[in-house]
Amino acid sequence: MSKSESDRMIEEYLKNVRSQLPDTFETEDLIEDLRAHIYESLNDKSSRHPAESRMHLTHEVLEDLGEPQVIADEFERTHKIEEREPEKSEIIKTVLRYLISVIVIIIAAWFVSSIPGTSIGFWPALIILFVFVLAESLIRRWQKEDS
């Protein structure tokens, strides 16, 4: 087997490992470390057994590593993100934030509706301000999830 065919076999193996892992920076780091380890092992085996074909040595290295699913399972086990319950202080902060938002919306709606010469009433102003606050809150949540 030529070097390029061996490289294709290694890349296919890495592709199989990557497909079973989440698309994160940690996954990319693992794939790069795994690639380096494979080539180091292959070079080591090649220097110890120069008569062996590169195909045979590549198969040995990949067999020594194990199935891609085993590597993915081990990675997920060691990088498990612990799910935690929100602390009492976080719940209090969230409730206070929503309560203050509602109070500010009500005061702003009252202020806007009481301006002389405006044609908007309290309830339409309240609904419009509530929609703006809701949209802003959703945008912040999406931005927080993306980061």
Tokens at 29, concatenated: 């780091």
Domains contained in the chain, number: 2
In a domain, 83, yes or no: no
pTM, entire model: 0.52
125/59 same-domain check: no
Q: Are residues 45 and 106 in the same domain?
A: no
Residue 7 domain flag: yes
Q: How confident is the model at residue 25 (pLDDT cuts 50, 70, 90)?
A: confident
The residues, any chain, with a CB within 8 Å of residue 53's CB and separated by 6 or more, are: 1
The answer on 8 and 74 residing in a single domain is yes
Per the listing, tokens 């087997």 go with 1
Domain boundary (78, 111, 128) is at 78
**60 shares its domain with 15:** yes
130: domain range?
88-146
End-of-domain residue from the set 78, 96, 112? 78
- Detail the DSSP E strand segments found in 44-113: none
Domain boundary among 27, 52, 78: 78
> Directed axis angle between helix 68-78 and helix 3-19, to 10°?
50
Do 72 and 17 lie in one domain? The reply is yes
Give residue-wise pLDDT tens across range 63-116: 999 898 888 888 877 776 444 567 888 889 889 999 999 999 999 999 999 999
Whole-Å CA distances, 55 to 2, 3, 36, 108: 8, 8, 18, 73
Residue 3 has pLDDT above 80, yes or no: no
* Shared-domain flag, residues 69 and 100: no
74 plus 93 within the same structural domain: no
Domain shared by 65 and 98, yes or no? no
